[in-house]
Amino acid sequence: MTLDAGNVVWIPCEVRPGAFTNERKVLLSSSYGEWIGFVPVAFLQEPIIEGETKIRAVIISVQNGSFSAKIPGDGIGTTLYKDLTSKVNTFNTVQT
């Protein structure tokens, strides 16, 4: 399976408590920098309060060995996350 726009994938992230019980502050690190934002707990693979898990994201584009993904919630600066396609294992694709 190849990575294509529209795929839903799990991306590793670091989670901290958010301002509300149904949200978490999330940090994603990539080859292009960091993405920080507040996301609903429902989009986390495990509904933890703090620690490491994965977040569900939708691939928006794939080109030149990199991809952009839409992260649910409110990003500080942007809602798009970018990284190398080699960082997403196709086994991380969410089955819908």
pLDDT in tens, the chain (96 residues): 578 999 999 999 999 999 999 999 999 999 999 999 999 999 999 999 999 999 999 999 999 999 999 999 999 988 899 999 888 765 455 555
43 belongs to a structural domain: yes
Distance (Å, whole) CA 34 – CA 37:
10
The domain in which residue 82 lies consists of 8-86
92 belongs to a structural domain: no
pLDDT computed for residue 94 by the predictor = 59
- Token pair 């409110």 is found at 74
Number of compact structural domains in the chain: 1
pTM, whole model, 2 decimals?
A: 0.86
CA angle 46, 32, 38 (to 5 degrees): 40
